Amino acid sequence: MDFKKYKKEYLIILIFVILVITLFAVIIFNNKNKDCDSIVDQDTRDDCYHAFAHEKGDRTICSKISDSEKKEHCLGHIPE
């Protein structure tokens, strides 16, 4: 038996599994925006979007804020 061959195969499988798990973790943690979408109260939802935009440094999230004053504040504090 060639154990080196089996070690390489298992290593490749292990690396693939780690990559798949990492991909799923990234997808799950980046979907926090869905939590904001489900908030019924407009002020609370706007605050959630504002915090999420700052956390991600993503100005496009600010566009989901319905209160114009909060939206401008959000856009003003995230660099282009």
pLDDT digit string, tens, across residues 47-71: 999 999 998 899 999 999 999 999 9
Domain ranges of the chain: 32-80
pLDDT reading at 35 higher than 60: yes
DSSP string, the chain: --HHHHHHHHHHHHHHHHHHHHHHHHHHHHTTHHHHHT--SHHHHHHHHHHHHHHHT-GGGGGG--SHHHHHHHHHTS--
Q: How far is CA 59 from CA 2, 49, 62, in A?
A: 55, 10, 5
Q: What percent of the chain has pLDDT over 70?
A: 84
Q: How far apart are CA 5 and CA 58, in angstroms?
A: 46
